[in-house]
Chain A
Amino acid sequence: MAAKIRQPGWYRALAFSILGVLVCLGLSTGLRAAFALDPVYDGESVLQISLLMVPLFFLGGIGCFDYWLRWASGRTVVDDHKDHGAKSWRDYFKVNTDHKVIGIQYICVSFFFMFVGGLMAMLVRAELAAPGRQFVDPNTYNGIFSIHATLLIFLFVIPVFAGIANYVLPLMIGAPDMAFPRLNALSFWMLPVAGAMMLLSFLAPGGSFAAGWTAYAPLSVDAPIGQSFFTIAVQFAGASSIATALNFLVTIITMRAPGMTFFRMPLLVWANFSTSLLVVIATPFIAASQFMVILDRALGFNFFNPAGGGDVLMYQHVFWFYSHPAVYIMMLPGFGIISEVLATRARKPVFGYRMMAFSLLAIVLLGFTVWAHHMFVSGMSDWIRIPMMITTAIIAIPTGIKIFSWVATLWRGVLKMDTPMLWATGFIAMFTLGGISGVMLAMVPLDIHVSDTYFIVAHIHYVLFGGSLFTIFAGIYFWFPKMTGRMFNERLGKIHFWLTFVFFNLTFAPMHLIGVQGMPRRVSDYADQFATWNLIISISSFILGISSLIFLYNVIVSWRSGPKAGANPWNSLTIEWQVSSPPPIFNFDSIPSVVGGPYEYGVPGAVHAVFDEAKAEPVAVAAGASAGAGAEEAD
């Protein structure tokens, strides 16, 4: 036992966490005693400090800082790669530096939170199935929809893209790993911390945070302690995001294989390059907004208290300066996935590759100029509205370029309409709808009527569910063979798509209508006139929820016992498919050289990359099987 506590891992994490609580208890009571505050022991104060500090103790205990601390304290550090690669399923529960292991850790944890967040959505819909009170009180209801949105944004869509890219991106550019593998591990481990904190808020005195995922001040400042769980969890999720984005940027800029010029990079790499720029620039703003809230809450700073000289609208400006770019953070990686899937399954080069890359950068730039379109009715200065409307509408142009180019990629291709392709084409249709309602919302006179209504709820679900989630499913099905070495069940994949597609539309399309008719969002009760539609929506949403269980069953069973996939089941040109499935522990037994574009389908004899050694067929070695050999080569 003592030996186990000395080793990095769950025992030590538990011991450190308990130690952390004790330290916070001492800090709180010590300071309160020093300032002669009464009472000396204040549970909320201890809880508040613990929320900030215990996660750091946990991360230390699980082993995120061991290497750095050894190095900093002058002790010998051995680069023996003992934490690299997974030899058994147990290694996925440890701090690991292999980007492939971290990618799968990211994806599994994110999907866990997707199912929890989806369950919350079911509860919301159950409450809304009929007018009046069904089974949760308003406080619980506000908590459920707040946690639903928060989990799905911060613990699912953003990190699952980071997970997919973590696995695929280094392989795509011919790199043996990410640039900073230990930072990569730390980024991952901050996520379960943030997610657990959000869920634990249900146990907080006064209930969970209930001010929505937007957490507008002063509602969030006056709320019970549960709100602090949101405020601080977002800091950890945000820190994770920023560290990963830095890692991607450095990896993409410095670790591309010889010959991989920027304009030979697959569009998924371009997409994550653009996303990482957004994350690095924008995420500090949400951190700032939440730091100001916590300072207001805990220490009475009056940032958002007008009576103390504070400014209520400032919260929204700072918050949306992150949270609007955040919708592109939740969409651009999906654009990358769609380009990969379409080119490979349509057997054609991506139409207008350079414009596809430039339009990503245009979206990054424009994404920073539109935040106040969330505030058209907020009471901000009137004149800001028209310029923000124009910049918002302009984003439709690069986005339109992407949609038209994808359709043109399909044109005259040889379209294999299998599961990844169904999700990709379904995405194009649904995202076009979400984009159109987005342009409508940009129009100030209409937005005055429909902002804060179910029309908004419909719009964001068309772009985040019909948009982002469809691309995530496309990506997961597409790279499942690479990650697991096995094929998924095609028939179940198709059933999953069609059930989701039909009931997604039945759930969210009517919300446009009831929103325009006058139903506000974030309400546990509504006028009787909306009863029929709400019942239809609730029933559809339950079937939509159940359809995700097909996916769960499919991936679990296929991962265990699906047919072997082979290195390149899709006959793709990009580099990740030129190595075994799953790839060797250090990715490449020989460094690839890039000799052409990534999508030269239909060009006779075209290749994207060649491997130094004459063997065109990569040696099929499962991850971990040649740990020793791999370690030597990488050094």
Chain B
Amino acid sequence: MTDQSHRGAVTAKNWIALLAIIVVASAIGIAFMLTLNWFPAQASDAAPKIDTFWDVLIVVSVPIFVAVTAMMLFSIWRWRQRPGEEDLDGPPIHGSTKLEVIWTIIPTIIIAALTTYAAILLVDIQSAPAKGTRVVNVNGVQFAWGFETQTPSGPVKTSKLYLPLNEPVKFNVRSKDVIHDFWVPAFRLKVDAVPGITTTYNLTPTKLGTFDVVCAELCGLGHAYMRQTVTVLTAERYAAVMAGLAHASGAAMPAAGAATDAVGKQMFVAGNPATGATACGACHAMKAAGTTAATGPNLDEMLKADDAAGIMEMIVDPNKEIVEGYSKGIMPANYSASMTKTQLAALVKYIDQSVHGKG
């Protein structure tokens, strides 16, 4: 018979060593997990609170995993089958009510604590906005976001979201076609845009800068490219930018014919949210309009050799010819329906002039 001493009882010394290993490994694990750079920038009032909650979850979770793994590895190390033990059985231990009660109650307490924390936090970060809060309408269409902000000089429609710093804002999120999801990772905000209903989200931006706006719900071919930006500005800068946009896009719609250029530019940078016409600038870069998106080809380069008729054809029938490296079916093919003839003509004129430097 082989040496059976390793099959003896677990001594107090063993327990202390095992406990020490669990404590040390948990400490190392927690330290490592907390030093990882998990989250993007904290740009809203909710962000630091959610990030702190995450840290709490890490501190609770790591020891549970470490304890389970350590007990398992200890068992394997201590009681693995050694040569000569092929016919040996373990002791017939069928269970222990005491242990089973303990490992039912402890997780119950942890779960109760975490869900209480989470519920309080949820109520806190989504508390109803103060009266008079700024409202931004967020409209998802395949495959771009349109933003509509109320200003003293009327609604301003943009393909980039602008928000003032430290001012509460309420988003009304809608969709015209399929489900999208309005996600600003830096705000820790996410809410679906659902056809038929309006969903809402409240928060306060707390950091200056430009952050990603992402569509997080699969919405079709162009889903991956439905990425735009939000820029948080100081109150003064915000007021100036919005006033400028209100002027440029002619919140009071320019009289037909009088300012074709302004209509063309408006179509380019903001589209026609009333009909769901996506802004060109949401996907295409064009120097004159100041857009930099890279979902579709750069228009300054692509349209160099095209005349107005060619540009018109590409807008109304985008799938006819595809630039190498890009895909069919991503650019909306509904512009002839979602824009009026005048708007289309103005848009083509604007692009033609911008690309060929005639403006």
The chain A residues found within 8 Å of chain B, CB to CB, are 133, 137-139, 142, 210-212, 216, 218-219, 222, 306-307, 310-313, 346-349, 351-355, 377-379, 382, 385-386, 389-390, 393-394, 396-397, 400-401, 403-405, 407-408, 410-417, 425, 428-429, 432-433, 436, 439-440, 442-446, 448-449, 451-453, 513, 516-518, 520-527, 600-603, 606
Q: Is B100 an interface residue (CB 8 A)?
A: yes
Complex contact B75–A445 (CB within 8 A) = no
Q: Closest CB of chain B to A252's CB: distance in Å?
A: 23
4 other contacts beyond A142-B223, A377-B190, A448-B189, with CB at 8 A cut-off? A222-B177, A312-B197, A397-B107, A412-B90
Closest to B194 in A: A379
Pairs A–B under 8 Å by Cβ, sample size 12: A218-B195, A307-B196, A348-B89, A352-B96, A401-B104, A407-B72, A414-B88, A425-B76, A444-B118, A449-B188, A452-B190, A602-B91
Does any Cβ of A come within 8 Å of B93's Cβ?
yes
Which of B149-157, B254-262, B322-330 is near enough to bind chain A? B322-330
Contact B178 A429 (CB under 8 A): no
Give complex CA distance A517, B40 in Å.
5
Those 8 A-B pairs whose CB atoms lie nearest each other, nearest first: A306-B196, A518-B185, A523-B224, A348-B90, A602-B92, A413-B90, A379-B199, A452-B216
By a CB distance below 8 angstroms, the chain B residues around A394 are 111
Say yes or no: A379 contacts B115, CB within 8 Å. Answer: no
Chain A residues whose C-beta falls within 8 Å of the C-beta of B100 in the assembled complex: 352, 355, 401, 405
Given B90, B192, B224, which contacts A346 in the complex, CB threshold below 8 Å? B90
Instruction: Evaluate whether A401 and B103 lie within 8 angstroms (CB atoms) in the complex, with A407-B68, A429-B68, A601-B92 already known.
Output: yes
Q: Name which of A133, A210, A436 has the most chain B CB atoms within 10 A of its CB.
A: A436
Contacts of B80 on A, CB cut-off 8 Å?
415-417
Shortest Cβ distance from B54 into A: residue: A446
Q: Are A440 and B216 in contact (CB under 8 A)?
A: no
B119 touches A417 (CB 8 A): no
Is B212 positioned at the interface, with any CB of A under 8 Å from its CB? yes
Of A133, A219, A346, the contact of B218 (CB 8 Å cutoff): A219
Interface contact B38-A517, CB-CB below 8 Å = yes
User: Which of chain B's residues have a CB closer than 8 A to the CB of A416?
Assistant: 80-81
Interface size range of chain B in the complex: 35 or more
Total number of A-B contacts with CB less than 8 angstroms? Answer: 264
In the complex, the answer to whether A445 meets B196 with C-beta atoms within 8 Å is: no
CB pair A440 B71 closer than 8 Å:
no
Q: B93 and A312: CB pair below 8 A? A: no
**Cβ contact of A377, chosen from B61, B88, B191, B218, cutoff 8 A:** B191
Given the complex of chains A and B, what is the CA–CA distance between A407 and B49 in angstroms?
36
> Most A CB atoms within 10 A — which of B38, B90, B108?
B90
Q: Which A residues are in CB contact (< 8 Å) with B68?
A: 403-404, 407, 428-429, 432
CA distance A139 to B328 in the complex (A): 9
Within 8 A of A (CB), among B115-131: 115, 118-119, 121-122, 125-126
Q: Are B214 and A385 in contact (CB under 8 A)?
A: no
Q: A445 and B125: CB pair below 8 A?
A: yes
Contact assessment for B53 and A443 in the assembled complex, using a CB-CB cutoff below 8 Å? yes
Q: Are B99 and A408 in contact (CB under 8 A)?
A: yes
**Is there an interface contact between B111 and A520, defined as CB atoms closer than 8 Å?**
no
- Given A401-B100, A415-B75, A518-B185, A348 contacting B219 (CB threshold 8 A): no
B286 within 8 A of A: no
Q: A385-B122, A445-B122 are in contact. Are A355 and B64 (CB under 8 A)?
A: no
Question: In the complex, what residue of chain B is closest to A418 when comparing beta carbons?
Answer: B81
Residues of the B chain whose Cβ atoms lie less than 8 Å from the Cβ of A442: 115
Query: Which residue, of A379, A390, A517, has the highest number of chain B Cβ atoms within 10 A?
Result: A379
Q: Which of B121, B181, B196 has the most CB of A within 10 A?
A: B196
Whether B69 contacts A429 by the Cβ 8 Å rule is yes
**Interface flag for B357 (CB, 8 Å):** no
| Contact A522–B107 (Cβ < 8 Å) | no
Q: Which residue in B39, B104, B197 is a CB contact (below 8 Å) of A379?
A: B197
Would A137 and B327 be within 8 Å (CB), given that A312-B195, A385-B122, A414-B89 are in contact?
A: yes
Contact assessment for A138 and B224 in the assembled complex, using a CB-CB cutoff below 8 Å:
yes
A216 to chain B: which residues have CB within 8 Å?
A: 178-179, 217-218
User: What residues on B are CB-neighbors of A602 within 8 Å?
Assistant: 89-92
Shortest distance between the CB of A359 and any CB in chain B (Å): 9
Give residues of chain B (168-225) contacting chain A, Cβ–Cβ below 8 Å: 173, 177-179, 181, 183, 185-186, 188-192, 194-197, 199, 212, 214-225
User: Which of A142, A212, A425, A436 has a CB less than 8 Å from the CB of B72?
Assistant: A425
Residues of chain B within 8 A (CB-CB) of A411 are 71, 75, 79, 93
Our pick among B50, B327, B330 for the contact of A445 (Cβ within 8 Å) is: B50
Given known contacts A219-B219, A389-B119, A410 and B327 CB-to-CB distance under 8 angstroms: no
The answer to whether B90 touches A436, judged by C-beta atoms less than 8 angstroms apart, is no
* B94 contacts partner chain A, Cβ-Cβ < 8 Å: yes
Highest count of chain B CB atoms <10 Å: which of A212, A351, A389, A518 = A518
Whole-angstrom CA separation of A410 from B71 in the bound complex: 9
A242 to B181, CA, bound (A): 34
Q: Which of B57, B81, B192, B330 has a CB less than 8 Å from the CB of A446?
A: B57
B290 in the interface, Cβ–Cβ < 8 Å?
no
CB-CB under 8 A for A311 and B196, given A138-B221, A377-B181, A415-B79:
yes
User: By the criterion CB–CB under 8 Å, are A138 and B215 in contact?
Assistant: no
Enumerate chain B interface residues (CB-CB to A < 8 A).
Answer: 7, 10, 36-40, 46, 49-50, 53-54, 57, 61, 64-65, 68-69, 71-72, 75-76, 79-81, 85, 88-96, 99-100, 103-104, 107-108, 111, 114-115, 118-119, 121-122, 125-126, 173, 177-179, 181, 183, 185-186, 188-192, 194-197, 199, 212, 214-225, 227, 325-330
Query: For B190, what are the chain A residues with a Cβ–Cβ distance below 8 Å?
Result: 377, 448-449, 451-452
Q: Could you say which residues of chain A place their CB within 8 Å of the CB of B185?
A: 449, 517-518
Q: Are B64 and A432 in contact (CB under 8 A)?
A: yes
B224–A518 CB distance below 8 A: no
List, in ascending order, chain B residues with CB within 8 A of A439's CB.
57, 61, 111, 114
CA gap between A523 and B225 in the complex, in Å: 8
Also in contact, A379 and B191, with CB within 8 A (given A346-B90, A411-B71): yes
Q: Knowing A306-B196, A348-B90 touch, does A410 contact B191 (C-beta < 8 A)?
A: no
CB neighbours of A600 from chain B (8 A): 92
Give A521 to B218 CA distance when docked, in angstroms. Answer: 8
Chain A nearest Cβ from B140, distance in angstroms: 12
Alpha-carbon distance A385/B325, docked complex (angstroms): 43
Q: Nearest CB to that of B216 among chain A residues?
A: A452
A440 touches B329 (CB 8 A): no
Q: A313 to B194, Cβ gap below 8 A?
A: yes
Give the distance in Å from the alpha carbon of A601 to the alpha carbon of B92 in the complex: 6
* B214 and A518 contacting across the interface, CB-CB below 8 Å: yes
Residues of chain A contacted by B196 (CB below 8 angstroms): 306-307, 310-312
A520 to B216, CA, bound (A): 5
Q: Are A452 and B181 in contact (CB under 8 A)?
A: yes
Shortest Cβ distance from B95 into A: residue? A352
For B61, list chain A residues within 8 Å (CB).
436, 439-440
Specify which chain B residues have a CB less than 8 angstroms from the CB of A351 in the assembled complex: 93-96
User: A219 and B329 in contact (CB under 8 A), knowing A348-B91, A397-B108, A526-B224?
Assistant: no
Whether B72 and A429, one on each chain, are in contact in the complex, defined by CB atoms closer than 8 angstroms, is yes
Please, how many angstroms separate the alpha-carbon atoms of A521 and B177 in the complex? 20
A379 touches B95 (CB 8 A): no
Q: Which of A218, A385, A425, A443 contacts B57 (CB 8 A)?
A: A443
Q: How far apart are A427's CB and chain B's nearest CB, in angstroms?
A: 11
Q: A428 to chain B: which residues have CB within 8 Å?
A: 68, 72
Shortest distance from the beta carbon of A136 to any chain B beta carbon, whole Å = 9
What residues on A are CB-neighbors of B199 within 8 Å?
379
B55 to chain A, nearest CB (A): 11
B114 neighbours in A (Cβ, 8 Å): 393, 439, 443
| A residues near B222, Cβ cutoff 8 Å | 138
Q: How long is the Cα–Cα vector from A377 to B100 in the complex, in angstroms?
A: 36
Is the Cβ of A410 less than 8 Å from the Cβ of B38? no
Residues from chain B with a CB closer than 8 A to the CB of A312 are 179, 194-197
Task: Determine the chain B residues whose CB is within 8 A of the CB of A311 once the complex forms.
Answer: 196
C-alpha gap A145/B24 in the complex (Å) = 41
Contact residues in B for A385 (Cβ distance below 8 Å): 122
